[in-house]
Structure 1
Amino acid sequence: MGRDWSPIAYDHEAIREIVTEVRNGLPVERVKYRKIPHVGELVAWRDRKAWRVTAVFERDQANWDDQTTKVWEREGMPDPATWPGRERAVRLQSATDPKDREPHRAIYPWASNDQWWPLREQYPVCNDCGLIWPCPCDERNDEAVAAMKEFNRLAGIMPGCCWACGDPVTGRHHSIVFAGENLLMPGAGPAVFHTSHSRKAKRGTCRGQAEDYERQWVLAEPGRRVRLRCSGVLYRHLSASECTTGERCVGVEATHPDHAHCTTRSYASWTNGQAVENPRPLTNCGTRGCRGPKAPVDANADSRAA
Structure 2
Amino acid sequence: MSPRGYAARPYDEWSPDEQDTTVVTAAEIVPGTVVAWNYKPLLIVRTEEINLANWKTSFVQAWQAAGEPDHETWNGRPLYIHNRTDRTKDPLKVGTAPASWKYLVLPKHYAVCSHCGDLPPCREVFMDRVMAIEGKRIDFEMRLVHGACHGCGQAVTPREHSMLFPGDNLIRPDLGSNTAVFHTRHSCLPLALAYQERWLAADDSRTPRLGDGARQPRKRDQMT
Whose RCO is larger (CA < 8 A, sep 6+)?
Answer: 2
Q: Normalised by the shorter chain, which TM-score bucket?
A: 0.3 to 0.5
Question: How does the TM-score come out when normalised to structure 2?
Answer: 0.47
Question: How does the TM-score come out when normalised to structure 1?
Answer: 0.35
Largest Rg, 1 or 2: 1
